[in-house]
Amino acid sequence: MSVISKPVGPAGGLSFLDPRGDALPRPHGNTYWLWAGHVLAGEHPGKEGEALLPERLQLLAKMGITHFIDLTSSNDPLKPYQPLGGAVRINHPITDFGVPSTAQMQVILRSMDEALAQGGKVYVHCRAGIGRTGTVAATWLVNQGLNGQAALDLLLQKWQAVDKRLEEPHTPETEAQRQFVLAWETHRSS
């Protein structure tokens, strides 16, 4: 895992800080580009009901998503799904409103980095795409070289693209999740 001093993205391209990436097409209104064209974040593809799941999976496939990082746990009222087009679903369960252990976050981030290193496109999601997803997204930004507060600020900026931002104005969702991100700098070189 490499730490990048200027956040241009792990393999170059548009910087995480470049707002042009935020305007790229998205599969639906409750997703946002964490890293334009490479890392998408949002809600569970089946959150709006099982009837919409096939359509959402098709839209994500059209976006070229190759790896789904699923943060839902067995306590979430959602059924597991099978991505389309040979994409891989990797489940890293985190309890709703909770935070992972340091070791679990390292495994999650490694899954993302390995997918990207293979040229994949990643979709990170929990149930609603707010708390657990925001925690992983901001922590991933810290691993790319941002400090914790800068990562949270950038994530909030990207969150403004999401339809539900008025009902859910913050991501991550809880103070414990935000504190986890702020503390991650001490772990990022692990």
Express each pLDDT in 47-58 by its tens digit.
Answer: 877 888 999 999
% of the chain exceeding 70 in pLDDT: 91
CATH topology of domain 30-186: Protein-Tyrosine Phosphatase; Chain A (3.90.190)
Of 28-32, 57-61, 86-90, 186-190, which gets the smallest average pLDDT?
A: 186-190
Domain extents for the chain?
30-186
Distance from C-alpha of 182 to C-alpha of 176, rounded to nearest angstrom: 10
| Span 86-122, pLDDT tens digits | 999 999 999 999 999 999 999 999 999 999 999 999 9
By annotation, the residues acting in catalysis are: 126
pTM of the entire predicted model:
0.90
